[in-house]
Amino acid sequence: MCPNCRALVERNASTCPFCGEKLRSPRARSSPATAGRILGVIPIPSTATSAIVAVNIAVYGISWYMTATSGSAQPSLGGISGDVLLRLGAKSPYILLGQWWRLVTAIFLHAGLMHIGLNLWCLFDLGPQVESLFSTAKFMVFYLVTGVAGFVLSLWWKPFGMSVGASGAIMGLIGVLIGASFHHGHLGKEYRGQLWRWVIYIAIFGIFFNVDNAAHFGGLVTGLLLGYLVPEGEEETRASQNLWNTLAVLAVVIIAGSFALMALQLNQALR
């Protein structure tokens, strides 16, 4: 994105074709293609993305340990016990009994190695894009809102089902980028086509595997609206900047508070 006019530009462009602004490295991509990527493949995530990835990995490690020490038959491929997922805050009918925090904790739970691996792979790629196009504060709000919206729709669609995973929030990030692309003319249209292919691939995957398609759809639609309606880039006024920073802090507090409520419920269950 051009730092001057904020138009989407080609990765190898040295100047913005819309306003003539000279683009600095690495935006000009004059350096080798491996710059900024792990092993030349995985994009290095920015700060908020790194934090969310770390939380996902930590929660998976805890759930794996609890599964391994539960004494029951262990699923293959690093699978997590359904009982453990339920105790750690999976989306379940308990939400209807007042455990609203499950709408948040479920975003950070995963059912196995393949599940978390695919989600984090997508997050590594999409997270930095959203942070760069909007801001870190907006990214944090988008991630939480779209993830929760996905599980709200999932709860309405299957109120007695259990599900976990970051895929609703990840579909939300795709939706954010699709929504923003409508403001960028021809280049936005080309980029939007690439993003819709992601959606199609995930939808096809959902047909053959037991995934929560309602959560995917809820996150995608919410992200589309946010990406289209929320202005891109850093805020130009101090009041707007303070508003988004406050919302981002509130998102972090809600996430931390949800895990705290989960821990209190977990301790009660262990007595």
Do residues 138 and 182 lie in contact, with contact meaning Cβ atoms separated by under 8 Å? no
Contacts of 136 (CB under 8 A, 6+ apart): 46, 47, 48, 248
DSSP codes, 94-137: GGGGT-TTHHHHGGG--SSHHHHHHHHHHHHHHHHHHHHHS-HH
Q: What pLDDT does residue 1 have?
A: 62
Fold of 49-270: Rhomboid-like fold (1.20.1540)
Domain boundaries, the chain: 1-35, 49-270
Q: Which of 227, 222, 218, 226 is nearest to 188 (CA)?
A: 227
Token pair of 7 as six digits: 């138009």
Neighbours of 192 (CB within 10 A): 17
Segments in 106-237 forming alpha helices (H) = 113-133, 136-157, 167-181, 185-208, 213-229
pLDDT in tens, the chain (271 residues): 665 666 666 666 777 776 777 765 433 333 333 345 555 555 555 579 999 999 999 999 999 999 988 866 556 667 899 999 999 999 999 999 999 999 999 999 999 998 999 899 999 889 999 998 999 999 999 999 999 999 999 999 999 989 999 999 999 999 999 999 998 887 788 888 889 988 888 888 777 777 888 999 999 999 999 999 999 887 878 899 999 999 999 999 999 999 999 999 887 765 4
pTM higher than 0.95: no
The whole-number pLDDT of residue 185 equals: 81
Which pLDDT value is given to residue 9? 63
pLDDT score, position 74: 59
* DSSP states along 46-96: -HHHHHHHHHHHHHHHHHHHHHHTS-SPPPSTT---HHHHHHHT-B-GGGG
For residues 51 and 197, give the distance between their C-alpha atoms in angstroms, rounded to a whole number. Answer: 27
Closest by Cα among 50, 220, 232 to 135:
232
Q: Cα-flanking dihedrals φ and ψ of residue 163, to 5°?
A: -155, 160
**pLDDT score of 138:** 96
Distances (CA, A) of 190 to 133, 187, 223: 16, 5, 19
Confidence (pLDDT) at 149: 97
